Structure 1
Amino acid sequence: MSESTLDDRLVELETRLAFQEHSLVELSDALADLRAENARLVMMLQRALDELRQIRAGLASDLTGDPSLEPPPPHY
């Protein structure tokens, strides 16, 4: 093989390597963004579930509360 052919092949390999390194950096950044978004969504879901539990507990206590605390019916 001639020196020119080897140089061309080396340049091609270096170009491919540079492209792959750039692609890996982009994929790594995208993965980090997705992990951060996932963590944010997990926190939001946890808050929503906590609020739902509080609402359910409030409704359950309203239904099993003391009947003397309820207002009289409208016909009184």
Structure 2
Amino acid sequence: MTQVPHDDRLNDLETRFTFLDDAVSSLNDSEAQQSQRLLQLENALAELRRELSALRTGLAGDVRDEPPPPHY
């Protein structure tokens, strides 16, 4: 088994560290973007729920006030 000189090992470790550091940075950026998108989607869902609730309330009141269909 041959020993790799210390300088070569150090260069290899520094290269790997740089790659991993870049990967972690990319993952952090992706996570931040996904968190922001999730917040936007949660807000949109809450707004849709409010609109649906308002529509249900409005429809329930209007149906009772309408006259019966002509065939009755």
The normalised TM-score by structure 2 is 0.74
Shift, 1:9, TM fit: 2.0
CA distance in 2, matches of 1:34, 1:16: 27
CA distance in 1, matches of 2:5, 2:61: 83
The RMSD of aligned alpha carbons is 2.1
Give the total of aligned pairs. 63
Matched ranges for 1:57-72 at <5 A: 57-65=53-61, 67=65
- Taking only the aligned residue pairs, the percentage that are identical comes to 24
Instruction: Return the index of the structure with the highest Cα Rg.
Output: 1
Alignment gaps of 5+ in structure 2: 67-72
Matched, 1:12 2:12: no
Alignment gaps of 5+ in structure 1: 1-5, 69-76
CA distance in 2, matches of 1:37, 1:54: 26
CA distance in 1, matches of 2:11, 2:41: 45
Shift, 1:31, TM fit: 1.4
**4+ residue segments displaced more than 3 Å:** none
